[in-house]
Structure 1
């Protein structure tokens, strides 16, 4: 960021420059340590100068989300709907892996930003142009949820040991044989290869689990589409 600050002394401040500098700073420090004052320091300006381009920190965060979402690849020309959606979602995942703070900021927004709305509109268009009904597409979007933007909300966030942690006894000691107490949990936890630092849980391979679930969903959507599925209760 030092070179950017030096260049900033010469380049005029603009909304785009403020947003891109903010994204770069969040990449470096994480969203928790991010502040308007720190951003102003990086840009070589006084904090009040930022407010000519963003009204407040919330507007700044909205703009940062739009910068990140703008990095997602456009639809592949000539691809079928299923391949196109898969490619875009995996592109979104690569983008969020570059900007690891972004998922939590996206979750913190009170509503979708313009770039998020444009992305969702484009994905919906891919489903509809592929022949899926508006009814099925509505439920598809719900089923995909945050996966559309490249991340999944897991039951327990944060990695941990592959085997279940031994519970603590009433007297403060460790209860014997936790795996014996929860045999199915232990069995599943030990059933697959694991990576360190997983957000899926138990050190699982995040990328594999993400693609596994995505492909299951897309295959299911395709099957329902071929069956002419509808949510209407009285449909034949």
Structure 2
């Protein structure tokens, strides 16, 4: 009787449960510690049980990306193209902030999944619905780059400064001596560590600042009837 009750309460294993458990595990222990074995332990099954739902680790990672992309809010109907795209990309950024490992996994995927294509297609579609030509839309998507996923590459990569105040002061002094202009930028403004996407990436203000510059520029080019054949 006890075994029957336990069996009745067991949640059946399926692909969706496997993928969501993998995302939760990566959030907790880091993507480097995620393996088929650790995921099986998390789910209380033997590793072979996972292969009924994902063929291998690469398919697992593809599916995890799909879960993250599924968290991005859909575009709001009846909203002007610039506002709609801004909302969509900032929603993508919130997803990246919830899962700091996701940007690295997205960059590592050799082939987009159908879910990824659906997301990109929707962003392209918002530009096209806003009246953008195919030519201009092609180039603005290149300009957005990884920003369309809510993250960017930090222009000043490097390890965090030492925790010890004296060592930190020495590091900053040496930085200012050797690279005065970089020091002006690095030390001139405080950055919010709480809004970082992954290690070394920009904070929320910097992200929105650049995104708004791009969107304003796209709007100006659209209004001017810009084409790559006649960029002037």
Q: TM-score, normalised by structure 2?
A: 0.85
Whether the 8 Å CA contact 1:15–1:53 is kept in 2: the answer is yes
CA, structure 1 residues 151+29, in 2 after alignment: closer, same or farther (shift >3 Å)?
same
- Cα distance, 1:122–1:131 mapped onto 2, change above 3 Å: same
Which residue in 1 is equivalent to 2:155? 155
Note the alpha carbon deviations across 1:34-57, whole angstroms, 9 max, x for none.
010111111111100110111101
Task: Tell me what 2:16 maps to.
Answer: 16
CA contact (8 A) 1:9 1:44 kept: no
The residue number in structure 2 matching 1:31 is 31
Counterpart residue number, 1:189: 186
Match for residue 128 of structure 1? Answer: 128
| Cα RMSD after superposing both structures | 2.9
Mapped contact 1:193–1:205 kept (Cα < 8 A): no
Gaps of 5+ in 1: 1-5, 168-175
Quote the residue 2:209 is aligned against: 212
Question: After superposition, what is the alpha-carbon deviation per residue over 1:47-101, rounded to whole angstroms, capped at 9, x for unaligned?
Answer: 0011011110100110010011001000012110000000000000001111111
Are the counterparts in 2 of residues 194 and 204 from structure 1 also a CA contact under 8 Å?
Answer: no
Which residue of the partner structure matches residue 118 of structure 1? Answer: 118
For residues 204 and 12 of structure 1, what CA distance do their matches in structure 2 show? 39
Greater share of helix: 2
When normalised by structure 1's length, the TM-score is 0.84
Superposition deviation, residue 190 in structure 1: 2.7
Aligned length: 221
Segments of structure 2 that go 5 or more residues without pairing to the other structure are 1-5, 162-167
What residue is the counterpart of 1:172 in the other structure? Answer: none
Shift of 1:195: 2.7
Describe the SS at the equivalent of 1:153.
coil
Map of 2:76 onto structure 1:
76
Q: Return closer, same or farther for 1:149/1:114 CA change in 2, 3 Å cut-off.
A: same
8 Å CA contact retained: 1:8, 1:43: no
Q: Which structure ranks higher in relative contact order (CA pairs < 8 Å, sequence separation ≥ 6)?
A: 2
Shift of 1:7: 10
